Structure 1
């Protein structure tokens, strides 16, 4: 793994260097060469290659690895010992002239210093985009564009300064590079490069080309666009620089204190209607420091002298500059010592509309809370739907496609307005009106449009789906004059829109023959699914991982088929959980006829359609659903269910489009992570569940995704929750009503499939053993059996473990794929996991792979770990911000550790001794554990792993007997029993 670092050099340039996790000491690199530094020719080809001496934390034996560098923990040898100290190392670097992103170079992982450079580059680009730059003269002489820092920009600069990684200024020079000059130089260098690039793209020239020798100013202007260096006589240059700096100072940029305006509304308890605009001075680095102008004029401003010496002059100068944006300030400036400005409602509204301009220019602005979240004039929607819950199944007038009555009214926020209040608003002469004890902003044009809309379309009929769409969409897309701020109504639709789903739920008992005992929250989930099923509404069951989404869906299927004969249900899921579903259905709902559509010899065409119609529950994978979508679409499915529905989070993928084409009376999505990275993922899932309920993807992006993700728009987020709320049921493990009900330790099997490569290797090992075992006796036979068992377990883990060839890890193992899926969910929920394996070499392979896959540190404890390193790992994992993934070899980490920071335990491969596995699980499930522990045991279906697991379960069930330690008991099996044990089943092979 290559880790890329950024470095600011003493001469103001930027450089990149890299570490290689698997790189041996570079031969011929010379004394003091960094042993893991990547050679110059392997660095990104973005500039000139050089060598720089850097000071890095080091042990006596060599440099300490950067936190992002993940090396093979076994090949790396013992951890270094001794105290850390700074030591100089020679590293090859490549020079760059702009902000650099690791995304530009595949195969590199970003170090902290490179990510920091990206943040600095974002500030520089933003400054240039907003014109917050100034032309200047640098040493040389040369022309340079530099940042004009003030107000919020200066605050951003300060935050970056406080967060600068030491490695960013690690060049070995005298005197030591200090953070502030380094950051100033870096920002200015990036600003200069960005401005020059933009001017060059536009062919801009700042100085005319005239015959004769150019003036100093013309040479400087030309250098701002072309080659930075220019010629100048020293005395003239000094005078020019003085005038330039005076001009810079007149702009009052880069000052630590700014003027702040605070607007106070009239108190409703007084008779006055005057608004007060107060003047204050505010410290940029600490915005909580506010000094009223009255104290500034009295000289009671000692707190400000940490930053400025003449606060009174600064106050007047800044007020004068602000008056160019808000001319009403001239009235206050007519006084010798201005402290505030009295405004009427019209003047207050004018200031509120100018507040954004003042903030952009670096002034502080403190506004009333109600203006930050105003109760805007909007529409209130009331829907009236016929039918009751009990009659839902019999009513033909219910469902998203059927008609309901609706009524529109005007409202402020969620409060509907009376006719008297509407008349009062219509008579208002200014946009700010006091109503119901608070100030509100009323747009007269919007008010007139709203009243005209009510007169034209205040009542009527529409489909339930259209009503829900209007309730959630923005008013432009829904053809409304203003946003919808309140929804409600009576009947089932009103309860759904108002979030009163609990009032609709009726207790539901699983049918006879369903063998699982549902917990209270699972019974509620079943009742919710049954309700939406009867209403003909799609459902997204988004319970946390481990809360039993599978058993709730199977209960729904059993219940539905106990009531009436139905068309089959199609379940689409990842290949890694096909076996789980097949066995869970057989275990909990044995009355269901289950069919798995999978494999190279699967049925097609009319034969497939006929066979599917003879079963209750059909299981297939996302890949096959996309491949066989045409024939699957010929079946009139009763229900289509997506498990791990985040697999269609990208609505443009082939499999996402395919599952939308499948016809079904009812649709259900199961997912523990309805949103992983972007809100568009939620749209994709919801559009499968109830097509069109969130509008088109472009409408959704404009009305929800952009406002919420970019601007943190809480009103848009509330509308989204209101629209999706009826169709999404999400319970968290942290919910007290769930925690009290969950068992302390929830154990489950994770049935995995083999890849084609794994299956081929597995069969080769089996064939080799069966050819030899019949001719072997005694110790030789026992050794052959044990060796074969070990080899088969290695094949089930990963081909690279069995082959020992150091080949790639990704996309070659069903177990590793399932491990990644589970860890994705664990990390998304902010949880931590212990991962046990009995093979130290397999753990050594997983560490760098998982670290790169999740871009975070993975701890690994094995037999070669020293006691000091072991204690350090445990302490770090138990700390509040410790690594989230801890990989342990079963022998080294199975006993004697307290790892209660984890609430997930994953046994990647099995020891085949329940007592040993329980001891390992108890590293997390022990005194001090405040959360419930989920334990997952990986088993490859159709292999010896599943058959041995079944044997263990039978022994535990029948006699509570423990299987002997290790695998020695397997050597006593007959050849026939061994053949049955190791034979590979067709269902074992995934896609």
Structure 2
């Protein structure tokens, strides 16, 4: 972890580069794995000790010189406390300030590029340093600096000082309020003094660097020469004092005068004031540029220059007593940035300028420069919200009569005619509009009665593109071009799409407005809830258009019955439904219950029938993913009406055998059912939707570049919004928290149980940890990832029960804190007449736990794991759901975590952690489903003082490591350093309970 500190006296001022290494303040980046909170060291004369978790100096910035920095950190007797943003538990004991020595490199200027060069993780406090450097660079760029003299050394020294006032003062105050304590861990002075010294050194160094880069020198000797050369200069003490006093007075006057600033207001020709009798009206295209004075801290206080010259500027009295001087001086300085002001300054009392359209455009092009220099700039509202130029696409079906009669189509493969155009603000430009643009001399054009600004390069590129004319493309290509993934060869984005029928609504994002709620079909047994009727209608609507669909309702909201309703509504041939083995029987039962008229066949087992013979005369063929892979050739030879994937996350790996197999099966329509369209990465969503509508999201490589990387790595909200828009037509997502659904469900309550460990568990835990650290310390170790993941599994097993780690048949009672807590929860639930689901990721432990719980409580205990035959698992589920007395159902997480309906239980216990919230939620939702009438209690067992508690805290608090945990399962552990592993896996004293 790299933390920045502002240091003292680390180098001579002659080495200043960009101002961050100096006598009174500079920046160092130091590496450590602990805390960075400023404090005053306790005790006098205590020498700083080496930081125990310091990053080696050669890992900071290779090739840079480094030194040691003494930093004061909150510490305990065992060492420095961890940084709060790491999400690790604090060390035991009362904290006290203590000095530590850490390696550090002095950097010239901190920006995002430099921070990215560091070999390791950068603390969030480094972002504050980057912001401080950006503030200093902004001051220098805008000329908010003045020269000065410093008299605190052996000889006087020239310096450049930042002028902070108005909006800059507000920004400086905000920086000070958010200054991380780590930044002053090497200081003994207030935060304001530390930041001011660093900012002055930054500004001084930046100005000197800028002068050196441009080859500018100021004067030949003395103070002027020192402003662009060596800072110190020779001068008699009395002369140096006089010079410093006058420069300080100039500095104070400039800072005070900045409370009032010159403001420019550009008036649209439509906003001319009424013409008084006897006045000559202004030409139609005349723009008025008005001069005003504005209070910086109250921008609403605006006084026109005419009032200033008439001495009628009473509203400004509280800010300045010399408004006329402020106005004239401000206009004079602004003329250096906008030379056309010179003409106005020749007037005795300058108050405004009259501009033609070309002159108005030239002012608008200087507006940003004036604004950055600190001037107020008020522009017409349309300039701030000027519409963007884009392409328009008009699409027409090749059979207009069919579109009039009904939406008959072959889906995204349908050929359509198209024509390109230009659009401004989402409205397509006519030929007359384009003719007006072609005649315009400047980018500022009156179009349709309003002024617009058009970038010349974008306009030229758009006009050149129109020469391509029109042609033919598929409906899928039109969709990709307009709403999803514009191809790179387009010079402008598509901002307007027009057409007819369903395709027009699809292109414009209004497809759902055409949705007609259908009545339940004949043959459906049972009553659909309102949201289920809408889901079935949505599936039927897309099916009628030849578009695939992904129904991504939460677990337990009835995706099964919605799909069966669709099959009853319309079928032209056999449908193939692929699902996990664990829910194959559930599909059979649900079809018999809700759609008994459907002819359902099952393709599974060693003695299964030929797929072609089975499909002949069937309405629905059920099979598993494993069988689909084995019989892929035979299934690919059948023309299916629909191919449906249940628990579609099974094809989240697009390169996996299952995903490649199911893509081969020909079908009129494809449907995906999943409660978790994205478990870990957006590539999973691409894989599912590419099965549903092949090619609609372009290639996996393109999708990753335009969506996955911007969203996952940089949290790009624009990319996320575009992805939501892109997937909206084909993905229907409803959650249990949605209005209209939540009222039909009971509540779900999460309880975390912190369990202690027995002495036997602790000794096994320590033995595993010691062995891991010893093996990681061996030179040349190349199996780091395997060692870490294996050790993690063993540590989790030690937390569950010694018998699991030792792999023996020893008894369970009295040897595990988790088992004791599980028995307490079970006893309470059974006493209340309520059943339980007990999940574990270790199938072997489930086999050990089942007889123990049966003997302990005398109730039926069932055990479902990956090796349970399909018929046996169906019988167990049915018996559990229909039982007259409460019972216990032990399930392995992989085999029982999806697809099952187990609403007979309202207690869910996670004995061990999978550390993937999505996976655990799926498992919990076996009980929290439609049909559940009692509150569901989810119990999570966590061992106190172990890696389980630390990672659970990260997941609960959404700390720094949460993204790494969720984003890559449990493999993130292998990337941690040995010191990080030691802290994460360490066993705290409070873990032992006996």
- Normalised-by-shorter TM-score class: 0.5 to 0.7
1:849, distance to aligned residue in structure 2 (A): 1.3
Could you report, residue by residue, the CA deviation over 1:773-795 in whole angstroms, capped at 9, with x for unpaired residues? 9xx9xxxxx999969999x9999
Which one is further off, 231-240 or 627-636?
Answer: 627-636
Larger Rg: 2
1:312, distance to aligned residue in structure 2 (A): 4.0
Structure 1 residue aligned with 2:290? 278
| 2:478 alignment partner, SS class | helix
Structure 2 residue aligned with 1:405? 417
Which residue among 479, 486, 500 is the counterpart of 1:468?
A: 479
CA gap of 1:109–1:856, structure 2 versus 1, over 3 A, is farther
TM-score of the superposition, structure 2-length normalised? 0.58
Structure 2 residue aligned with 1:260? 263
Which one is further off, 161-170 or 148-157?
Answer: 148-157
Residues 29 and 104 of structure 2 are in contact (CA less than 8 Å); yes or no, is this contact kept in structure 1? Answer: yes
Which residue among 836, 840, 848 is the counterpart of 1:796?
A: 840
Could you report, residue by residue, the CA deviation over 1:178-198 in whole angstroms, capped at 9, with x for unpaired residues? 42x3223334556788999x9
Structure 2 residue aligned with 1:367? 379
Structure 2 residue aligned with 1:555? 562
Residues 596 and 620 of structure 1 are in contact (CA less than 8 Å); yes or no, is this contact kept in structure 2? Answer: no
Which residue among 190, 193, 196 is the counterpart of 1:177?
A: 190
Residues 679 and 918 of structure 2 are in contact (CA less than 8 Å); yes or no, is this contact kept in structure 1? Answer: no
Aligned: 1:97 with 2:97: no
Could you report, residue by residue, the CA deviation over 1:85-124 in whole angstroms, capped at 9, with x for unpaired residues? x9855455554534499988889784x7555335435656
TM-score of the superposition, structure 1-length normalised? 0.58
Could you report, residue by residue, the CA deviation over 1:210-265 in whole angstroms, capped at 9, with x for unpaired residues? xxx99998888666xxxxxx764354994998699799979979955543333221
| 1:400 alignment partner, SS class | helix
Aligned: 1:491 with 2:501: yes
Unaligned 5+ runs, structure 2? 10-24, 36-40, 58-65, 275-280, 752-789, 814-818, 828-835, 849-893, 895-909, 925-934, 964-994
1:493, distance to aligned residue in structure 2 (A): 0.9
CA gap of 1:338–1:457, structure 2 versus 1, over 3 A, is same
Aligned: 1:727 with 2:730: yes
CA gap of 1:160–1:610, structure 2 versus 1, over 3 A, is farther
Aligned: 1:381 with 2:398: no
Which residue among 536, 541, 566 is the counterpart of 1:531?
A: 541
Please show how residues 44-443 of structure 1 align to structure 2 within 5 Å: 44-46=55-57, 47-53=66-72, 68=85, 72=89, 76=92, 89-92=98-101, 95-98=104-107, 99=110, 110=123, 113=125, 115-121=127-133, 123=135, 156-165=171-180, 168-169=183-184, 173=188, 176-179=189-192, 181-188=193-200, 232-235=233-236, 238=240, 255=258, 258-267=261-270, 273-282=285-294, 290-297=302-309, 311-376=323-388, 378-385=390-397, 386=399, 397-408=409-420, 411-417=423-429, 431-441=443-453
Instruction: Give me the whole-angstrom Cα distance separating, in 2, the residues matched to 1:769 and 1:711.
Output: 48
RMSD: 7.1
1:71, distance to aligned residue in structure 2 (A): 5.8
CA gap of 1:114–1:475, structure 2 versus 1, over 3 A, is closer
Residues 55 and 172 of structure 1 are in contact (CA less than 8 Å); yes or no, is this contact kept in structure 2? Answer: no
1:370, distance to aligned residue in structure 2 (A): 1.8
Structure 2 residue aligned with 1:906? none
Structure 1 residue aligned with 2:971? none
Instruction: Give me the whole-angstrom Cα distance separating, in 1, the residues matched to 2:940 and 2:176.
Output: 46
Instruction: Give me the whole-angstrom Cα distance separating, in 1, the residues matched to 2:117 and 2:421.
Output: 53
Residues 564 and 591 of structure 2 are in contact (CA less than 8 Å); yes or no, is this contact kept in structure 1? Answer: no
Instruction: Give me the whole-angstrom Cα distance separating, in 1, the residues matched to 2:247 and 2:700.
Output: 52
| 1:563 alignment partner, SS class | coil
Which one is further off, 243-252 or 383-392?
Answer: 243-252
Instruction: Give me the whole-angstrom Cα distance separating, in 2, the residues matched to 1:297 and 1:679.
Output: 64
CA gap of 1:743–1:362, structure 2 versus 1, over 3 A, is same
1:6, distance to aligned residue in structure 2 (A): 4.9
CA gap of 1:165–1:639, structure 2 versus 1, over 3 A, is same
Residues 44 and 94 of structure 1 are in contact (CA less than 8 Å); yes or no, is this contact kept in structure 2? Answer: yes
Residues 158 and 223 of structure 2 are in contact (CA less than 8 Å); yes or no, is this contact kept in structure 1? Answer: no
Residues 33 and 54 of structure 2 are in contact (CA less than 8 Å); yes or no, is this contact kept in structure 1? Answer: no
Instruction: Give me the whole-angstrom Cα distance separating, in 1, the residues matched to 2:304 and 2:650.
Output: 54
1:717, distance to aligned residue in structure 2 (A): 9.1
Instruction: Give me the whole-angstrom Cα distance separating, in 1, the residues matched to 2:406 and 2:625.
Output: 31
| 2:540 alignment partner, SS class | helix
Instruction: Give me the whole-angstrom Cα distance separating, in 2, the residues matched to 1:733 and 1:506.
Output: 24
Could you report, residue by residue, the CA deviation over 1:418-469 in whole angstroms, capped at 9, with x for unpaired residues? 56656666666654444555333467897798788778725x4332123223
Structure 2 residue aligned with 1:920? none
CA gap of 1:125–1:619, structure 2 versus 1, over 3 A, is farther
Instruction: Give me the whole-angstrom Cα distance separating, in 2, the residues matched to 1:616 and 1:684.
Output: 23
Instruction: Give me the whole-angstrom Cα distance separating, in 2, the residues matched to 1:129 and 1:611.
Output: 77
| 2:413 alignment partner, SS class | coil
Instruction: Give me the whole-angstrom Cα distance separating, in 2, the residues matched to 1:700 and 1:115.
Output: 30
Instruction: Give me the whole-angstrom Cα distance separating, in 2, the residues matched to 1:128 and 1:824.
Output: 56
Structure 2 residue aligned with 1:743? 744
Residues 17 and 92 of structure 1 are in contact (CA less than 8 Å); yes or no, is this contact kept in structure 2? Answer: no
CA gap of 1:731–1:815, structure 2 versus 1, over 3 A, is same
| 1:262 alignment partner, SS class | strand
Unaligned 5+ runs, structure 1? 22-28, 81-85, 224-229, 573-577, 777-781, 804-810, 827-832, 859-882, 885-991
Residues 19 and 38 of structure 1 are in contact (CA less than 8 Å); yes or no, is this contact kept in structure 2? Answer: no
Instruction: Give me the whole-angstrom Cα distance separating, in 2, the residues matched to 1:450 and 1:741.
Output: 49
CA gap of 1:92–1:287, structure 2 versus 1, over 3 A, is farther
